[in-house]
Amino acid sequence: MAKPAAKKTASPAKAKAPRTRTAADLERHAPRKVTREELIDLLNDDLAKEFQALVQYVQHAAAMTGPQYDAIKAELVVHSNEEHAHAISLADQIDFLGGVPGVDVAQALISPDSKVMLEQDLEGELDAIARYRERIAQAEMLQEYGLRRALEDILIIEEEHARDLQDALSL
């Protein structure tokens, strides 16, 4: 009689970290069809995350330590200003669609470790890239071509942010 296979358990040190949503994940799944009102709500969620990114970049640029981070600290200040511009663009689009731009700020992530700060920022950018790719498709479905264009402009900058962070992390 065959012996039952031993049940494998992962040690805490080897447990996989939760997977973040990437651009490739979004490409495997068709964007969710939404109504105009649902799109406004989603854009307000995106706006809250732009506010969060702005705050998080400001905090990280100020709190990051070590001479090896001097160049990326300066770049994070640039990123924060670009996130501010994204927030303004989103607020204008929400208003144009007949919604009211929100004032909520998603929870900013902080850490005493400079490398972790950069990893947090990269995770946020990868999430933004996936979300904006989905929003662009949703805007297209609703024939909101001006919104689509505004989102494409934001997406281009978010992709640049991700590349800057990947370079800083040597990924």
Supply the pTM of this predicted model.
0.82
Name residues whose C-beta falls within 8 Å of residue 141's C-beta, 6 or more positions apart in sequence: 31, 33, 34
Predicted confidence (pLDDT) at residue 12 exceeds the cutoff of 60: no
Residue 81 has phi, psi (to 5 degrees) of: -65, -35
Using the structure block, give the residue that is written with the tokens 């506010």.
Answer: 51
Distance between CA atoms of residues 101 and 97, nearest Å:
10
* Residue 5: band (very low, low, confident or very high) from pLDDT cuts 50, 70, 90: very low
Q: For the chain, what are the domain ranges?
A: 31-168
In angstroms, what CA-CA distances link 57 with 51, 111, 156, 159?
10, 12, 18, 16
Return the higher-pLDDT residue of 141 and 10. 141
**Residue 104, class by beta-carbon neighbours within 10 Å (0-12 exposed, 13-18 middle, 19+ buried)?**
exposed
Q: What number of residues does the chain have? A: 171
CATH assignment of 31-168? 1.20.1260.10
Predicted confidence (pLDDT) at residue 60 exceeds the cutoff of 80: yes
